[in-house]
Structures are given as structure tokens and as C-alpha cells.
Amino acid sequence: MDRVVFGKTGIDVSVVGLGCGGDSHLGLDTGGSVDGARTVLRHALELGVTYFDTADEYGTEEVVGEVLSPVRAEVVISTKTKPLRPDGSVLTPEDLERNVDASLRRLRTDYIDIFFLHMVRERHYDFCRDALFPVLERLRDAGKIGHIAITEGSRSDPRHEMLQRAVHDDLWEVMMLAFNPFNASARRLLFPATIEHNVGIDVMCAARGPFSHPDEMRSVIDALIVSGELDASAVDRENPLGFLLHEGGANSVTDAAYRFARHEPGCHVVLTGTGSARHLEENIASINRGPLPPEDVTRLNDLFGHLQRLTKD
């Protein structure tokens, strides 16, 4: 397992993070069982994963805590809470502290390595910075939180406008964002600043959606052609990313998407979420592989580098 220093946190982590949310929530949302989720978590440990990401709304904190508590000193746990209540009103400082304490109980730990304010929209950023960050700072001083972090909503903020503001406040040690061949805009809009400020970057949506489902890929490509965002003569509509699959290149579109994110300067940890131990092995192998051939990356960027909206939270 490749490892990396996670930006200014100074933490040594695996480049693969097990995402315990996503589309499957460790398989719990796709017909799997709690026993199956335990199996995936334990297999991740066996394969060298040391970074585990969850959230209070995912319903996986309890199983994460159960499996990881015996090896707590050897792993890095991140969890998250949104700055808004379900009714759309903002959290109070007391709400936020209660949410942190509840996560600690579910995770069976007395500290959370990295705590995120989750899916923060640009219009709520000032509130998060001015009203909620001081609460997290106090909890960090009390030892309940190791590092304070923030995530975007990839569908609501594909241009990373909130994170473009946040990075210059130099408060947030880690940022989670979407990065894949259909939305690589962070390369231009954000990474120069995150690299300058040594912010740890946690990549979500690297291979979600069309990169894992051929029918969805064809549908997306057709929509791009209809909208005029993609020249129909530039791609094979039936196998639009087939040019990536060759000797010395990627062995699948999913493999290519993971490697595209893994080797982008400024990216640290790439999240992968699954309810299948076999898929976990495949995804870890992809993230641990070397970069795509430069000519393939160039072609991806030429075809899709102007896009900044095709992501899924």
C-alpha cells in the first residue's frame, strides 16, 4: 500500500481511503448486511488501508467503530456533520458539539482524527467560519478532534467556489472535493492554492457514476453531444473511453479514473466505497498503480477538460 503525508496534518496515511458512505454505505444500502460491512472493513485493514471516512448521516459510524476500535491507534478516522439541520436551519454551537459527542460514542473512541463540516455551500461559508469553526477549534484544544476539515457539495458547487474562499482563510487542514476526468476543474481553480497552503486533499467521486457503469457513461456522452459540449466526431459513442484500454494503459475505465485522480499533483487520499471485498481489492490495486500514460491524460484533458459539472455527491 502506497502512503503519503496528508498535507499540513503531518499524518502518514494510506493513499486509499475507505469511503463508508457513497452509493453503497459499505453495502448496507445495496442489499448487504452488517456482517458484510464488517468483512469489507476488516479486509481493508488486511490490505493496508489506514484511512476510513464516514459521517453521522451515513449510518456506518457504529460498524466502523466496532471493527476499528481494537486497532484504534493504527488507523485514521474521519467523520463529518452538515452545518444545517434537516429543516434547513443552521446548527447552533451546542448542536455541533452534541453531534461531535454522538459521533465519538458511535465510533467507540475518545478522539476523531479529522472532523469535517460537510457539504458546505458557498452561501453558508461565512457562518461555518465565524460560528462553527471556533467550536471545532475548542474541541480540538480539548483533544476530541485532531484536525479540522471541510467538504464541498460536488453537484451544488462544481466550480469549487466555497473551497476557493476557504483555502485563503488558511483554517482548514483538509478539504474533500470531487475530482475525475469529467470535472478536473480543481486543477486550475483550487490546487495551486491548496498546494501553496499544504492543505490535505481527500478526493471523492473519482470513479463514481459513469466511470463504473457503461450505460451511464454512454448516456452522459450522448447528453454532452446534444448540448454541444462534446464533438460527436471526437469519440466512439459506444465506447467513449476505449482509447484508455491498451497495453501499458488502463485495464478498465474505472482503473483509469482512479489513477487519473491518484496521480494529480495536489491530491493525497483517494476514497473508494464498496460493499464488496473483491471490488475493494480491484480498486485498491488501481489506486496503487502508476500514472496513466501522458498521452492518455492529454487526450482526456483535451476532450473533457472544459467540463465542470458531471459529478455526484
Least confident among 113-127, 128-142, 146-160: 146-160
> Which percentage of the chain shows pLDDT scores above 90?
91
Q: What is the pLDDT of residues 207-229, one digit of tens each?
A: 988 999 999 999 999 999 999 99
Q: Give me the helices (H) in the chain, please.
A: 34-46, 61-68, 93-107, 125-127, 133-141, 161-169, 186-189, 191-197, 214-227, 253-262, 277-288, 294-304
Given a cut of 70, whether residue 99 has pLDDT beyond it is yes
**Count of CB atoms situated within 10 Å of the CB of 239:** 15
Distance of CA 280 to the CA centre of its chain: 15
Least confident among 135-144, 151-160, 180-189, 296-305: 151-160
pLDDT at 22: 85
pLDDT at 23: 83
pLDDT at 57: 95
Q: Which three cell numbers stand for residue 285?
A: 490495486
Q: What is the pLDDT of residues 140-168, one digit of tens each?
A: 999 999 999 999 997 889 899 999 999 99
Q: Which three cell numbers stand for residue 223?
A: 447528453
**CATH assignment of the domain containing 76:** 3.20.20.100
The total number of structural domains in the chain stands at 1
Given a cut of 70, whether residue 191 has pLDDT beyond it is yes
Q: Please check whether residue 254 lies inside any domain of the structure.
A: no
Q: Please check whether residue 94 lies inside any domain of the structure.
A: yes
Q: Please check whether residue 225 lies inside any domain of the structure.
A: no
Q: What is the pLDDT of residues 241-279, one digit of tens each?
A: 999 999 999 999 999 999 999 999 999 999 999 999 999
Q: Please check whether residue 198 lies inside any domain of the structure.
A: yes
Q: Which domain holds residue 67?
A: 3-209+262-302
pLDDT at 29: 87
Percentages of the chain per state (helix, strand, coil), in multiples of 5: 45, 15, 40
Q: Please check whether residue 80 lies inside any domain of the structure.
A: yes
Strand 16-19 to strand 269-272: parallel, antiparallel, or no bridges (unpaired)?
parallel
Confidence of residue 198 (pLDDT cuts 50, 70, 90): very high
- Phi/psi for 85 (5° steps) reads -75, 165
Q: Please check whether residue 197 lies inside any domain of the structure.
A: yes
Given a cut of 90, whether residue 30 has pLDDT beyond it is no
Q: Please check whether residue 199 lies inside any domain of the structure.
A: yes
Beta bridge partners of 115: 79, 148
Measured distance CA(147)–CA(155) in Å, rounded: 26
Q: Please check whether residue 215 lies inside any domain of the structure.
A: no
